[in-house]
Structure 1
């Protein structure tokens, strides 16, 4: 079976006291390629990991989480020294036991025949040396790939998805195990990259939206705020973090109905505000998401449109009433200005003044109707009989 080699790497942070020898000849596989080319190990080319002076790999540092954030709550692995020693000893004893009968027979035959003592002792040392050497070689051949797999899995557990095992192929059982670990690292790497891209997109959206977004933990301590929230409270995020909702003046927003309109003055605006509150969980702990939307701009726009509609209606009604009044008044003025009046000028004058009075009364009723509409009381919610309403 082809021996799997690995380049020496520093001990992993998850097990600083691990007595295992780090794997040698680890390489970094390129992220490209399809699944068909991954099945043929001989056709694939590996890119070696370049080690920095500190011993860490310099490739794909952007995909590795900070040391303080790598599985902070992950339970520590049990010590592997005792298990490895037992396994090493068991393999060594089995190798020694498998060769012991042959060595014993060879020594009996060697010492049973009359030979010079120098020859007998030399052959005895050679036989025992080869026996012990091959036994230790068998032990290394069995144990070393397990150490390589252990370090690869520990690297995945620590969030380092750039390390790959060389010699992963489908022509033997151990090669298939290495190949599956490489596939697992590639999948985790792609998932980590997708999560980083999604997080970057979310941060960009949060920074650009015009609504203030706050996130509070179970103790109502601020954990997240966007730029609109900073402008609303007139403070940078560094000063706002870990402050309580009461210190920020947002305690009233975290109580009451989840969706409502609230009038509250802040350093960055006076409102009114539309409040949306929801809950989410992060690492099992409940959090509250608070979104404040400034309604003043929307209300001003709606008020402007309402005034425009009102002015159009008033202008239309005034034109309908004033145009006939102006026309009839001009006709009556020209009639009065004549030197000789017609015989029926009084009748024309009476009809013209009647039209003017009618139009003025109509305009007065229109203005009174709008005045009553402006003085309507606020609606009151109360039970209503639908059957009686339908009968009416």
Structure 2
């Protein structure tokens, strides 16, 4: 076992003392008794002096050793006291400087990890990391929603997760190649969703890891389509407004002239032109409202008060009990959505007592359903009903359901339409918490 430095120095000093005493006795030929007395006193004095001199050094070296052990354990908050200008104090100063730098680096890395985790958890891209035994070691919120309805899946084997997954997803993962696959989902307005899967692999801590990235393409394509429609609407509205403004002015002037010359037939003509111009102006304003929909001003909203306010404006039957947890949405925009859906239900031919509204709490959000017993929709209409300008009504603008969809998706939610068994339509709105 290796001796401590202090004791090594004491032994070296004692050897030096004994060697000097032996040389002294040999040169001066002193008696053995005097030699032993002098040697004993010198030994005792050497031990006391060495202990006094090197005890402080040993303590500082022990503190330095403790600090380095903390470094090994990734603990950088310990600093050493500086009590001199010798070499050990300089070494302690260098230790403190290194500790401060490592502490700052650790804090910086920790902040970057928090930021990265926040970005990954809020990303619509589903990210899943697997170890070399294909067990999940990380999954963001989108991946948990895709594979386990929002439940935690860390530590679960990939094969176990895929037992209840669609066959198209299983085949895409098993292929090991990047590519597209589709998922059928009743909650999606198109009946199916297009996904892109990317595979990746890398070494971390000496072990092979696999990275799976799932990107939904359907919603992105739909958003781009809506943006194109909005741009077209803005251009058309601008051009029509440029023409309607002088027409309205000329109609007003024509009415004044007709009244002055008492031309009743001419006044009637100008009245008809004015009515159609006013109708066209209101028509354009409806489209402009869709094209310039503001971002939702979301807040915590108690469901009971919100539903009571809605019931004062439109008749419906409330199904079930309301969630205790408040919703998180723009109350004005959400009221607009539900009034539009309830109006459509009333115009579908459904009797008033068969129009119902239900709000159900789910694990990661709230599901709102508006149901009726009207004529429902054909399969062709279901696939087009949420698109701008599409309408089956003679006087419809084709923006009611499109506006509902735009508002719900601005809330990071989903809207879907489906026919009910026994007749009627069900509109489902999913709002995340």
Structure with bigger RCO (C-alpha 8 Å, 6+ apart) = 1
Report which of the two structures shows the higher radius of gyration computed on alpha carbons.
1
Q: Which has the higher strand share?
A: 2
